[in-house]
Structure 1
């Protein structure tokens, strides 16, 4: 199982700009050479009054990892006397189990349903993001916190400088009963409800014959080139699920994600 660090999802919630992400409400006339862009369409299903939204994670670089580990070590050592005092049956949390508010640069963020290029049954969203590799990490009904992670299988993709990467359409809904979104058929079932709702997520990659609106046609756009992400550990999620199977790309065998493009 992979360990993919989300640097303080709580901290990035307080200030989404801390992840270096800008959600655009109009298409730029020119793209920045030192930034990358993610284009997606999102469903508008709700839980109560709140629209369900996708959560992304950027895989941190070595310098960011080192900064995070250094800060975590310092915070753990400072908190250790109190942790030892409060420990039951001498079960003191290890540094791996320890959580803290990281004040450094965040690498996870919510794609808000409130900021979009076009509205409708699917909302078109354009994100200006740091260059790197991203994972469709999970979903939330809040602006600041991961609720359900795609810990049991998902996809990732790389974004390049000065280019819009089109990842297609992302569908999110509650999955303890039948969803009106047919893309979530493989995520359904009454067992998906316990003390709270578990969200399911599906991705439909962009079609080869996609027609872009006029305000995007002059900009460089490439389809996302996905890779399958194996199971990973995310202690901050309220619930876990998997991204729904994607025809010709993502499947599951004995519960584990497999790349359908790779012959066994």
Structure 2
């Protein structure tokens, strides 16, 4: 018993010491990562999981088969600042290692060794893991929210992901495990993004399954076209299941997302052009929503200028000069 009490006291002392560490040390041990958690209907029914009003939720439906994909969270200003601080800490360590390695090299060089001279790290050449690797949010193929396979209905699988509120870009139908090569295609050459708001289920419906894209649209995503489905497009089903209808939900408001680096070293591609959202001019993504907003703003500005000009009093004509005597 005494030994157990002593062990407990030691554990409490260690916990107190850890709690007293400065915030910088805690950040060093656990850098910012995009928080995400798969939600399952059975866990909501049992009470093991709940819908948290402080969190945001992304809903995805996959017709017929399970699916998977990656979202990329846009880092907040605080996350970017923490990442920059992490870069500075690691850069300082790299400079310390360089100084030690240089001394060792100089000492061995005097004895005739011809080893390679250490390369000094500079702000231009030094890099750490890209911040995007910390912002990945995955869904599927495991941890299905619900499965529909009743007679007379189309089979489907759905996913619900709890995330931090913020902006998310669909990186592509990718399956990725740290340390392993990704499977699937990265939409590095063009995709869509949307805002996931706190206390709300943002529904992508079956949009990610690309049923809305006909063959002509799909042809703009690949040079290998022999196996593309030749089928008519069908509207996206943005609805959520009845089990989620009691919560606040909304259709995802999609915007075009531009090109990005292929930091996962995956197969590169792009999502098909999305009517009213995303178009392509050769290899350049075009933000159709942004264009429409700019045109509307210009039209309003022109209308205001015209109305202002109409209300201003007409300028008085210049007086006629008197004739010369």
TM-score by length of 2: 0.55
Structure 2 counterpart SS, 1:225: coil
Structure 2 counterpart SS, 1:237: coil
Q: Where does residue 243 of structure 1 map in the other structure?
A: 271
Aligned length: 220
Distance 1:44 1:206, change over 3 A: closer
User: Matches of 1:119 and 1:87 in 2, distance apart?
Assistant: 59
Contact 2:205–2:240 (Cα < 8 Å) also in 1? no
Structure 1 counterpart SS, 2:243: helix
Structure 2 matches for 1:170-181, cutoff 5 A?
170-171=208-209
The alpha carbon displacement at 1:44 in A equals 7.3
User: Matches of 1:73 and 1:219 in 2, distance apart?
Assistant: 43
The structure with more strand, counted as a fraction of residues: 1
Distance 1:54 1:74, change over 3 A: same
Q: Where does residue 142 of structure 1 map in the other structure?
A: 176
Can you give the 5+ residue segments of structure 2 that lack an aligned partner in the other structure? 1-29, 103-114, 149-154, 226-233, 296-325
Q: Where does residue 99 of structure 1 map in the other structure?
A: 128
Q: Where does residue 42 of structure 1 map in the other structure?
A: 62
Q: Where does residue 166 of structure 1 map in the other structure?
A: 203
Distance 1:212 1:60, change over 3 A: closer
The alpha carbon displacement at 1:151 in A equals 1.8
Q: Where does residue 73 of structure 1 map in the other structure?
A: 88
User: Matches of 1:52 and 1:75 in 2, distance apart?
Assistant: 38
Q: Where does residue 61 of structure 1 map in the other structure?
A: 76
Contact 2:203–2:240 (Cα < 8 Å) also in 1? no
Q: What is the CA deviation profile of residues 12-51 of structure 1, one whole-angstrom value per residue up to 9, with x for unaligned ones?
A: xxx9x95321101117476312101111123677xxxxx7
- Between 159-168 and 72-81, the greater mean CA deviation after superposition: 72-81
Contact 2:222–2:269 (Cα < 8 Å) also in 1? no
Aligned-residue RMSD, C-alpha: 4.0
Q: Where does residue 157 of structure 1 map in the other structure?
A: 194
User: Matches of 1:40 and 1:228 in 2, distance apart?
Assistant: 19
Instruction: Find 1:218's aligned residue among 242, 246, 258.
Output: 246
The alpha carbon displacement at 1:118 in A equals 2.5
The structure with more helix, counted as a fraction of residues: 2
The alpha carbon displacement at 1:52 in A equals 5.9
TM-score by length of 1: 0.67
Q: What is the CA deviation profile of residues 92-145 of structure 1, one whole-angstrom value per residue up to 9, with x for unaligned ones?
A: 78657623498xx93212112111122365421111111111111233233446
User: Matches of 1:190 and 1:111 in 2, distance apart?
Assistant: 27
Flag the structure with larger Rg.
2
Structure 2 counterpart SS, 1:136: strand
